[in-house]
Amino acid sequence: MNSPDKPNGQLLVRVFDGTRQSLPVGKQVLVRLLDGDQKQLRCDFFQKPNILFSELPFYDNYRDMLTVIVSADGYLQAGMTPVPLKANTLQIVDLMLLPKNNTYNFSPARWEDLETTDPATYGLLAHGPANPADAKARYYELMEKKSGALACFFNIVTATREIHLPQGNALNYFKQLVWDETMAQDRFFAYADQSLVDQVKLAASQGSFKPETGPAFFHPGATCSFKEVQFGEANVQLTFHENDVLTLDGTTCVKVEPDIDYYKDLGAHALLEVIPNELFGSVTDPKTVYVLRWIAGRHAGIPDFNPPYTIIPSA
């Protein structure tokens, strides 16, 4: 406890599960707090999802940049750093713990429901040469055989809808998916109104995106690529293949390759037990992206990241 003449720092840690709901009361969680010197301030067990630390030492320097780590039996660890304490001000950190043994729950994404609950996404899934019955069949085949690819699709579509350009949001420009083996758990290809390229370039000039150098090295055939810079983690990258052109419903479209990177840079803010295993030499995990984007959005105070699926314990 600080002396009476010194201000305190206040921190509220809220713990959620893969359904985006609070962890149940009675589930024991371990919370560790480290200061900017990596000195441990707290290490305690709690049996509630909302934990208030009301009298943390406040130094008014780099030591106020905390690391928060939360773990629970049967769940993957999660955390965030840096979390800046402020004098006599409540700082809130929301973290998501996934079950160690987990699976996708696509019940909110039934084909019959998407047309009503998310007509833009439904329209993108349904658009193309396939008739309605075939479009529905290929959707459920993707869900059954490549569930990670479908989760990736929903992650990217949900995040892209949140990207507000000088005119409309980025998802509005997407016209048709490329339904082939390129639909993967880390990216997909689509055709988008070619004006999206200019909109993203304009947004980059205003600081919302950062252009990537040498995009063709990692994305063969790419002509330009831009990464969102709003968050420390799970930013959308839009890579354009402007030499691949298709006219759809009278609109000239270019191929776009969207994906979501774990981190904006190597100065990672969020900590996950699964991250080190995924960062090097393996494909981006949609479940990790789901957690990182949700945490980043909560930290930024924007509307919740809410793709039409959740992650639940596997049987």
DSSP one-letter code for 171: G
Tokens standing for residue 245: 């052109």
Residues in contact with 213: Cβ distance below 8 Å, sequence separation at least 6, in sequence order: none
Tokens standing for residue 100: 């160690």
CATH fold of 8-97 reads Immunoglobulin-like (2.60.40)
Give the containing element (helix H, strand E) for 298.
helix 286-300
Domain boundaries, the chain: 8-97, 103-266
The Cα–Cα gap between 13 and 11 comes to 6
The pLDDT of residue 59 is 92
Outline where 47-146 has alpha helix (H): 111-117, 119-126, 132-145
If one counts every other C-beta atom within 10 angstroms of the C-beta of residue 76, the result is 20
Largest CA distance in the chain: 72
User: Cis (ω within 30 of 0) for the bond into 82?
Assistant: yes
Backbone region of residue 208 per phi and psi (left: phi > 0; alpha: psi in -120 to 50; beta: other values): alpha
Tokens standing for residue 88: 């006599």
Residue (of 64, 104, 107) closest to 84 by Cα position: 64
pLDDT, tens digit (0-9, with 9 covering 90-100), for 159-172? 999 999 999 999 99
- CA 225 to chain CA centroid, nearest Å: 19
The residue written with tokens 């959005």 in the block is 297
Residues in contact with 88: Cβ distance below 8 Å, sequence separation at least 6, in sequence order: 7, 8, 10
pLDDT, tens digit (0-9, with 9 covering 90-100), for 205-235? 999 999 999 999 889 999 999 999 988 889 9
pLDDT, tens digit (0-9, with 9 covering 90-100), for 17-41? 999 999 999 999 999 999 999 999 9
> Where does residue 217 rank: exposed (0-12), middle (13-18), buried (19+ CB within 10 A)?
exposed
Residue 7 to residues 58, 91, 115, 275, Cα–Cα distance (Å): 6, 14, 53, 36
Q: Note whether 235 and 41 are within 8 A (CB).
A: no
The pLDDT of residue 162 is 93
The pLDDT of residue 156 is 98
pTM of the model: 0.92
The pLDDT of residue 269 is 46
- Pick out the chain residues at pLDDT < 50: 1, 266-269, 272-281
Amino acid (one-letter) located at 259: D
Q: 125 φ, ψ to 5°?
A: -65, -35
Order across the sheet with 40-46: list the strands: 40-46, 29-34, 65-71, 78-84, 270-272
Q: Is the dihedral of CA 293, 299, 303, 309 positive or negative?
A: positive
The Cα–Cα gap between 149 and 229 comes to 24
